[in-house]
Amino acid sequence: MARFLSQFFPPSPTFTEKDVPDLTGKVFIVTGGNSGVGFEIVKILYAKGGTVYIASRSPDKVASAIKEIKSLVTDATGKLLGLHLDLGDLTTVPRCVSTFLAQESQLDVLFNNAGISQEPSGNVSKQGHEIHMATNCLGHFLLTNMLLPILLRTAKSSQEASVRVVYTSSGIMDIAAPPGGLSLAELVPGNFSKSPDRNYASSKAGCWMLAAELDKRTRKYGLLCVCQSPGTLNTKGWDQAPRMVKLMMKLVMHEPKMGAYTGLWAGLSPEVKLDDGGRYGLPWGRWDTDPKKEILESMKTKEEGGTGLSAEFWTWCEDRAEGFACLGQIMKTTVE
């Protein structure tokens, strides 16, 4: 109970804008950076001199966000740019990556921040997948894997653990996700759960699994991959929740900037080390020291005493993303 309550009422932030160093020469991508937590992350990175790409499905909203940030941060030396990316449509991912690679030769941190919640049961992505899982996990999976070459090249020439991939989860996975975190059976079209909360929670457990699996594959090359829960925040993610739920949750909601502190800690704090790869961070910048046992078991192989569900989910994502990029060849070429 104490652990659960601490996620609603976290201790003071351990890493804020005051702790962010000069980011001149650093390059970042923030998915969903045009609003909410992502907007606050972008604003701080830009203010500290970083080159920041906002990846979003709405070019108009990106342009508005850039204009607003520049009006708020008038003395910044950083750069703000946009990328078109609809995580619910895998065809947009290769184009997004190509646009980015045509402009940059390094990528220091990828913030997989964007996400949706409370979508009605039965809603599907462009490719027919359950919409929460498609947007929160599958789209980010393809994006991350297509960016692996530039991430690993940057890691090779950078200080250890400074190049990172940060996935975004949620404490809801502890209370609403299926046993083990997610159910592969419920990802089959026609068999989706009828509960928006369960579908959302499954996708957020999936985000942690993808971070942990990526860590297993890339830590030895110097890339740090972690997952974090930004906290219970007053963002547009609650727009479609029932009115009574929103009213009750407002009692424990925090401003988006607080969630940005969690993401910045995971993405920039020198206290986060390479050996922390695969771990799960809590608001406002601390490790979960007592994760749900059944999800930890999902991230272990059967030889390690686990269920191997996490690796199976990675394969599920890989199979569905393979038609949009030769992921196996990307990984093989990158690590050779």
C-alpha to C-alpha distance for 265 and 113, rounded to whole angstroms: 14
Pairing verdict, β 51-56 and 286-287 = unpaired
Active site members? 200, 204
Cα angle, residue 249 at apex, residues 246 and 250 outer, rounded to 5°: 85
Task: Classify residue 232 by its DSSP letter.
Answer: S
Pairing verdict, β 224-228 and 164-168 = parallel
Q: What residues contact 204, with CB distance under 8 A and at least 6 apart? A: 115, 136, 168, 169, 170, 172, 173, 177
How many other C-beta atoms can be found within 10 angstroms of the C-beta atom of residue 275? 10
Q: How many residues are listed for the chain in this entry?
A: 336
Q: What residues contact 9, with CB distance under 8 A and at least 6 apart? A: 252
Residue 204: name the closest of 112, 98, 127 by CA.
Answer: 112
